[in-house]
Amino acid sequence: MRISVFSTKPYDRQFLTDANGGAGHELTFLEPRLSVETAPLAAGADAVCVFVNDVVDRPVLEKLGQQGVRLVALRCAGFNNVDLAAARDLGISVCRVPAYSPHSVAEHTLALILSLNRNIHRAYNRVREGNFALDGLLGFDLHGKTVGVVGTGKIGATVLEILKGFGCVLKAYDVAPDPDCVAMGVAYVSLEEVFAVSDVVTLHCPLTPDTHHMVDEALLARARTGLMLINTGRGALIDTRAVIGALKSGHLGSLGIDVYEEEAELFFEDLSNFVLRDDLFARLLTFPNVLITGHQAFFTREALSGIAETMIANVTAFQDSGAPLHPVSVERLA
């Protein structure tokens, strides 16, 4: 099939080309993000391959459909950027990569927790400046601390397994508790209790209308004072304004994020020569107890190769049988 790959970076080209080896699809690599303006670039394609910040709303899908596109193949797990109802109405199939090295995101989550707790980001700069003072770098033992995981799917469960090795007390909240996690010693409690009793809370549920701004002012007010909040899920799980308020008051102890609700305008690009226009993001950058990475939790060799192989397998299955291996549809969500 002819596949137009949007938001292409050099690493996408490398891993997708390798995975396509035997499958023989015709890949056209496009650097622009998919939007209503760039949709015409997919003219002649049977499928588009898109990433987390491509816009796949109704106007975009209408344009793609008019051009003959029959499949939207996500090269990520989350699908919050796709209007699934519009895709159904237009007869366009949507598929995703539901699982690829949960270790990639889980291990990055631990990297954020450990760096933030032991101030590695600040120590790195200090030592380079010849400043070997320890004031301001005080951390805590993770051993024996209570860590709450929100969303215990593939990534959340992997985070829990790692944290068990650190000797943490494990709490969790999920709409569908996992018996394997319970067997591991995880106690499922309400979302409010996770925030009230935990020293660290980390978010691993999908972004849906139910979870949008799940961490808001009211929930933060009930959190344990000094809480470390980690988000490698999706930016809009957190109300950024409320989090900034809680950081300013000191009630929230620290914040580590790999995702940001307005990240589409920032992440994956070198903007170092431009003025930062996002005032909320700029405010976050001023806190010494905030650590931000630019949506890189998935970025390991193992994950990129798994993503590319599953994306290609989805398209091949669609070509051979009319259905991708891992479809996403409004019916399946209902």
Which residues belong to the active site? 234, 263, 295
- Could you tell me the smallest distance in angstroms from the CB atom of residue 202 to ligand NAD? 11
Tell me which of 205, 220, 291, 315 binds ligand NAD, using CB under 6 A.
205
Instruction: Compare residues 53 and 254 and give the one whose CB is closer to ligand NAD.
Output: 53
Q: How many chain residues interact with ligand NAD (CB under 6 A)?
A: 29
Distance of CA 202 to the CA centre of its chain: 12
Instruction: Compare residues 63 and 295 and give the one whose CB is closer to ligand NAD.
Output: 295
Instruction: Compare residues 300 and 319 and give the one whose CB is closer to ligand NAD.
Output: 300
For Cα atoms 193, 196, 201, give the angle at the middle one, nearest 5 degrees.
90
Q: Give the C-alpha separation, 153 to 109, whole Å.
A: 14
Q: Which residues pair with 257 in a beta bridge?
A: 231, 292
Residues 6+ apart with CB under 8 A from 27: 3, 5, 16, 17, 20, 49
Instruction: Compare residues 203 and 242 and give the one whose CB is closer to ligand NAD.
Output: 203
Residues 22-61: x where in contact with ligand NAD by CB under 6 A, - otherwise, as a string: ----------------------------------------
Q: Give the C-alpha separation, 110 to 101, whole Å.
A: 15
- Could you tell me the smallest distance in angstroms from the CB atom of residue 79 to ligand NAD? 8
Q: Is 150 in the site for ligand NAD (CB under 6 A)?
A: yes
Q: Would you state the structure tokens that stand for residue 19, as one six-digit string?
A: 């995975």
Residues 156-185: x where in contact with ligand NAD by CB under 6 A, - otherwise, as a string: x----------------xxxx---------
Tell me which of 141, 210, 320, 331 binds ligand NAD, using CB under 6 A.
210
Scan residues 85-114 and list those touching ligand NAD (CB under 6 A): 102, 105
Instruction: Compare residues 67 and 305 and give the one whose CB is closer to ligand NAD.
Output: 305
Scan residues 244-273 and list those touching ligand NAD (CB under 6 A): 258-259
Instruction: Compare residues 127 and 182 and give the one whose CB is closer to ligand NAD.
Output: 182
Q: With left for phi above 0 and alpha for psi between -120 and 50, is residue 101 left, alpha or beta? A: left
Q: Which residue has the tokens 């007390």?
A: 169
Q: Give the C-alpha separation, 95 to 105, whole Å.
A: 21
Please state, in angstroms and as integers, the Cα–Cα distance from residue 129 to each residue in 79, 115, 125, following that order: 43, 19, 6
Q: Is 308 in the site for ligand NAD (CB under 6 A)?
A: no
CB atoms closer than 10 angstroms to residue 300: 17
Tell me which of 41, 196, 206, 268 binds ligand NAD, using CB under 6 A.
206
How much is the CA Rg of the chain, to the nearest whole Å?
Answer: 21
Stretch of residues binding ligand NAD (CB under 6 A), selected from 7-15, 159-167, 295-303, 325-333: 295-303
Q: Give the C-alpha separation, 241 to 234, whole Å.
A: 16
Residue (of 230, 233, 235, 236) closest to 256 by Cα position: 230
Residue nearest to ligand NAD (CB): 153
Contact of 307 with 141, CB cutoff 8 Å? no
- In the complex, the residues that contact ligand NAD under the rule CB under 6 A are 77-78, 102, 105, 150-156, 173-176, 204-207, 210-211, 232-234, 258-259, 295, 297-298
